[in-house]
Amino acid sequence: MDPSLLIPDPFNSAMNLHPMFVHFPLALLPAALLFLLMAWWRGSERWLFAAKASLIAGAIGALVAVVTGWNAGESIPHNEAIHRMIETHEAAAITVFIVATLLAIWSRWLTLASRRSLGWFVGALALANGLLVSVGDLGARMVYQEGAGVIPAVGVIHEGSPETKSGDGPAESGEAHKEHEH
């Protein structure tokens, strides 16, 4: 294990910051929905508090993800197809941030006693989470299918790897991992 690899390098490239923060809203906004459903089902103020706290943290995380996403989109070279994806991803992410922020503000007055208001709130948060899933999927497609911001790995791996230069790569020999263990 090389502990030096665990030190983040956000200053090397602005695009590195976005992946570091994008997972906060991706985790916290669905957690807020789950906690809210538990509060509604159980009639528990503790679950409601957890939902509100997760929603506020998720909205803040969405803001940071949007800001770092702007920097990432500006810093990577991209073609027309990726540009269209970036524009769509950005607009949908801003929408998620705005909706999450409005819901976080609304949650200040949300109580378990108002079942009708709670139902509308659950519905709005569920829709926001649906859009969030689409935003995340589009971001993943930009990176994993279109290669946005990715250094071509295959050439780098083959050039720097002694076991692949001879033609006996890890798939053929099974020895590559053993060699690196010692």
pLDDT of residue 117: 92
User: Which pair of structure tokens corresponds to residue 79?
Assistant: 């073609």
CA dihedral sign, ordered 90, 92, 98, 103: negative
pLDDT band at 105 (very low <50, low <70, confident <90, very high): very high
pLDDT of residue 74: 85
Give the Cα separation of 156 and 136 in Å (integer).
Answer: 27
Q: Is the pLDDT of residue 177 over 70?
A: no
Give per-residue burial for 125-152: e unless 16+ CB within 10 Å, then b. beebbebbeebbebbeebeeeeebbeee
- DSSP class of residue 1 equals -
Average pLDDT value for the chain: 85
